[in-house]
Amino acid sequence: MKTDELIGLLGNSFEREPVRTPWMTRRLGMAVAVGAAAALCLALVVLGVRPGLTQTRPLVFLAFKFAFAAAVGGLALRYLVRAARPGGESRVHLGVAALPFVAVAALAGASLSMTPREHWHGLISGHTWLECLVSIPLIAVVPFAVVTWAVRRFGAPTDLVRAGALVGLASGAVSALGYSLHCMDDTVPFVAVWYGGTIALCTMAGALLGPRLLRW
């Protein structure tokens, strides 16, 4: 029997009641935490901390960026634990995982609606859009490698595309956490477009790489 056929049979076997493994939750959670710490250290060493964090506005937006990335990462980990088990993908609701993106997009729309159209470009692009576009995916490589290893070591996903996408989603989120300490652009539209967009890119990369990297 080929490996793909075995994976399909396992997925069908556990479709109604996925395998329950509490220890996997702890180990995958630890892997995400290690990846987050690595992303944070990498961002601090390579990019450094932005100035002005003793002021109110930068601190408020840092908290906002942290909240968005943490919400995305928390949901990604929740569903990755399920997708990493045979049959667990049936309990993964990607629409729920998209809620932080919908919320920040709604806030960005509200912000733009209260701003004259001639200022929209500055709110969306800021001064560091290219740096953000490059930095978050590059920093995400380290947590992606750590979490991929953990899924291969402790998990047995039967939907490799979905599991890979969730690995990418979690990695992009923790990378955004690290990058936010350096980011100088403090507008909601900037966070929605460039943080949300780069995390989405990491998710798509994970979906593409998942069938190769997570194959049994």
**Whole-structure pTM value:** 0.86
pLDDT at 145: 94
pLDDT(7) > 70:
no
110-168 pLDDT tens trace: 999 999 999 999 999 988 999 999 999 999 999 999 999 999 888 788 889 999 999 99
In whole numbers, what is the pLDDT of the chain averaged over residues? 87
Please tell me which of 11-15, 75-79, 81-85, 190-194 the model is most confident about, judged by mean pLDDT. 190-194
62-85 pLDDT tens trace: 999 999 999 999 999 989 988 888
Residues 6+ apart with CB under 8 A from 102: none
Residue type present at position 157: P
Longest alpha-carbon distance in the chain: 63
pLDDT at 36: 87
Q: Residues in the chain, how many?
A: 216
Structure tokens of 82?
A: 């399920």
Q: Which residue has the tokens 């947590």?
A: 143
Closest CA to 124 of 169, 183, 188, 72: 188
Q: Which residue has the tokens 């979690």?
A: 170
As a whole number of angstroms, the distance between CA 154 and CA 80 comes to 12
SS (H, E, C) 100-132: HHHHHHHHHHHHHHCCCHHHHHHHHHCCCHHHH
As a whole number of angstroms, the distance between CA 210 and CA 76 comes to 15
Contact 21, 85 (CB under 8 A): yes
For the chain, percent of residues with pLDDT exceeding 70:
88
pLDDT(11) > 80:
no
